[in-house]
Chain A
């Protein structure tokens, strides 16, 4: 069993005819993901990869198909609209890959989602991979093995690094969830930690954080109270200078807060093991 998604999850792709959308739809199909529909306004009626029907609207796609999850590859300027469209059409799980969405757009999205039955993962995230079952997003599937480690991360490529390092040591993931590098996102560490804690297949947890904000500190507090599975963590940005935004919109040390050292201390106090670098994670997992 995996969290959030599994082999039977039926997926819709928003922005399916774009460069990234098309490329990653093919990658998802190759992995075995059940992609059942795509949406691109103005491209309704087209067929992708000889079998995936394209619709002009999410509403149209939902009328013709049963859909469990939507994955969004549309450009940043249209992402708010795309997320709201999916939620409004009744999709219960929306994964937004798009990077560079204005923060005010995301605050509106969050305020809307508070009142509807829809979970958002991301934005600015790599999506979800449940090895051997499904991949929804952009995580390269072949680098990961199936296993019992639950992975939650604010970073995309750093997550691949961890999946790869685990696989090299014969370890695998139950589910890997990228929650994204933006300051305002849909699902946070605590939400995913809670799912892993309650997932019988997940025996150990890896949490990848980075500088900026205080989500890691809140997660540490949650771990100390509610998580009894072993947690191994890596926090990126220990060498980042203050006041500079390190690529991710959310990765910045401001006014003395958001520092890696504070996050590491909080996690250590909560009983988590801290890796000096990503490739140390497998041995730390083995030690618990």
Chain B
């Protein structure tokens, strides 16, 4: 789950990381008030969960409250890569001496978190990694030992940070690691971490991504979710514990297991069809979940045919069949269906479905080709 800049920075601040004074506005009037309260020059920043907002005109500098109001007026409601700007952050403008990158993420290969710093701050770290990888220094964080001060010193020396800032830099690294660990984040990033003309360090921009699997133990953090980032179908799917990703085709897919769901999309494409979605009902899905899954797929008006591919392991074919029968009764399914059930309790599942008029398939290739033929 991605957090907005202002949400990330507020969390950083709670853990002792210095951030610019500022507040969030959803109207131009609020922006004027906040900017006037701050006094002096401010930065008005669109709060959207996509990159490239600067290039899109979503970040503007204003000399005073009135100008900040005018900037907010322009930015609020703006469309940036398909997302509407609903909030702007008004931050005091900062005198920048140098800009540093600082971030923590999980290293899949080393199986532990890694903290990264670069003197090339303020630009997308993926660009730095691609163009000048030698500009990024890394230290791996042992899950039991945590982040040690010598590691942050290693980074400070490598990025040529003046010695008088090493202690402040260590404090910020330690705080960033604390917020990362405590919030079960998979990314916590300060970019840029600014060295001001007065010789202070300030987190001017921030980004966090939280582990979806850990939200259950994170209390209030789940409330920070931005519903705009998901389609209505995606949020409904999440409520039922289903993984759903909308695609552009016309063959609706309901599959158990992520790998098989991807494999089913791939085979539809291989035989010349276009999948309408990725949908994994997960392991051990109940009839209720299956019924919800069908409702969600059918909300997409482009779906011309439904392909149900279930290979039962922990999922029982009879439970899936009950869900399908229930959905047919409840929702009314008016598109043709191709159903393939194999594995745990497949006989019981097939019996349950025998009364419904459905095309059945024995193999995956057969199922995909039948669905493609029905969609044509």
Measured CB to CB, the residues of A under 8 A from B are 19-20, 24, 27, 76-77, 97, 99-108, 110-112, 126, 138-140, 143, 153-161, 164-165, 168, 181, 183-184, 208, 210-211, 213-214, 218, 234, 236-241, 244-251, 255-256, 276-279
| A260 to B312 CA separation, bound complex (whole angstroms) | 26
Contact of B108 among A159, A214, A236 (CB under 8 A): A214
Q: Is the CB of B283 within 8 A of A214?
A: no
Q: Which residues of B contact A208 (CB under 8 A)?
A: 259
Report B339-376 CB contacts with A as 1/0, cut-off 8 Å. Answer: 00011100000000000000000011100000000000
Contact of A247 among B214, B278, B313 (CB under 8 A): B278
Q: Is the CB of A97 within 8 A of B261?
A: no
Q: Is the CB of B262 within 8 A of A210?
A: yes
Q: Is the CB of A140 within 8 A of B269?
A: no
Beyond A77-B216, A140-B312, list 19 extra A-B contacts (CB 8 Å): A20-B283, A20-B314, A77-B217, A102-B184, A103-B211, A105-B214, A111-B142, A138-B283, A143-B343, A156-B314, A161-B263, A184-B111, A210-B262, A214-B108, A239-B265, A240-B245, A246-B258, A251-B262, A256-B126
Shortest distance in angstroms between B115's beta carbon and chain A's nearest beta carbon?
Answer: 14
Q: Is the CB of A183 within 8 A of B106?
A: yes
- Identify which of B283, B315, B365 gathers the most chain A CB atoms within 10 Å of its CB: B283
Q: Is the CB of A239 within 8 A of B143?
A: no
- Identify which of B113, B214, B266, B315 gathers the most chain A CB atoms within 10 Å of its CB: B266
Q: Is the CB of B111 within 8 A of A110?
A: yes
Shortest distance in angstroms between A243's beta carbon and chain B's nearest beta carbon?
Answer: 10
Q: Which residues of A contact B261 (CB under 8 A)?
A: 246-247
Q: Which residues of B contact A237 (CB under 8 A)?
A: 262, 266
Q: A158-B260, A183-B108 are in contact. Are A244 and B266 (CB under 8 A)?
A: no
Closest residue of chain A to B363 (Cβ to Cβ) is A279
Q: Which residues of A contact B150 (CB under 8 A)?
A: none
Q: Which residues of B contact A248 (CB under 8 A)?
A: 258-259
Q: Is the CB of B108 within 8 A of A277?
A: no
Q: Is the CB of A143 within 8 A of B216?
A: no
Q: Is the CB of A240 within 8 A of B314?
A: no
Q: Is the CB of B257 within 8 A of A156?
A: yes
Shortest distance in angstroms between A93's beta carbon and chain B's nearest beta carbon?
Answer: 19
Q: A107-B111, A111-B142, A240-B278 are in contact. Are A246 and B243 (CB under 8 A)?
A: yes
Contact of A140 among B108, B129, B343 (CB under 8 A): B343
Shortest distance in angstroms between B297's beta carbon and chain A's nearest beta carbon?
Answer: 15
Closest residue of chain A to B265 (Cβ to Cβ) is A239
Q: Which residues of B contact A126 (CB under 8 A)?
A: 313-314
Q: Is the CB of A158 within 8 A of B257?
A: yes
Q: A77-B217, A240-B278, A277-B364 are in contact. Are A102 and B260 (CB under 8 A)?
A: no
8 contacts between A and B (CB under 8 A): A99-B282, A103-B213, A208-B259, A240-B278, A246-B261, A247-B257, A249-B212, A250-B108
Closest residue of chain A to B284 (Cβ to Cβ) is A20
Contact of A239 among B108, B269, B365 (CB under 8 A): B269
B275 contacts A by Cβ under 8 Å? yes
Q: Which residues of B contact A210 (CB under 8 A)?
A: 258-259, 262
Contact of B112 among A24, A111, A143, A156 (CB under 8 A): A111
Closest residue of chain A to B365 (Cβ to Cβ) is A279
| A237 to B255 CA separation, bound complex (whole angstroms) | 14
Q: Which residues of A contact B314 (CB under 8 A)?
A: 20, 24, 97, 126, 138, 156
B280 contacts A by Cβ under 8 Å? yes
Shortest distance in angstroms between A222's beta carbon and chain B's nearest beta carbon?
Answer: 14
Contact of B263 among A107, A164, A218, A278 (CB under 8 A): A278
Shortest distance in angstroms between B103's beta carbon and chain A's nearest beta carbon?
Answer: 13
Closest residue of chain A to B181 (Cβ to Cβ) is A104
Q: A155-B259, A157-B311 are in contact. Are A246 and B106 (CB under 8 A)?
A: no
Contact of B313 among A104, A156, A279 (CB under 8 A): A156
Q: Is the CB of A104 within 8 A of B262?
A: no
Q: Which residues of A contact B216 (CB under 8 A)?
A: 77
Closest residue of chain B to A140 (Cβ to Cβ) is B343
| A76 to B217 CA separation, bound complex (whole angstroms) | 11
- Identify which of B268, B270, B311 gathers the most chain A CB atoms within 10 Å of its CB: B311
Q: Is the CB of A214 within 8 A of B311?
A: no
Q: Which residues of B contact A213 (CB under 8 A)?
A: 108-109
Q: Is the CB of A244 within 8 A of B263?
A: no
Q: Which residues of A contact B143 (CB under 8 A)?
A: 104, 107-108, 110-111
Q: Which residues of A contact B262 (CB under 8 A)?
A: 155, 158, 210-211, 236-237, 239-240, 246-247, 251
Q: Is the CB of A278 within 8 A of B283?
A: no
Contact of B283 among A102, A153, A156 (CB under 8 A): A156
B186 contacts A by Cβ under 8 Å? yes
Q: Which residues of B contact A276 (CB under 8 A)?
A: 267, 270
Q: Is the CB of A27 within 8 A of B344?
A: yes
- Identify which of A140, A239, A244 gathers the most chain B CB atoms within 10 Å of its CB: A239
Q: Is the CB of A155 within 8 A of B260?
A: yes
| A100 to B247 CA separation, bound complex (whole angstroms) | 24
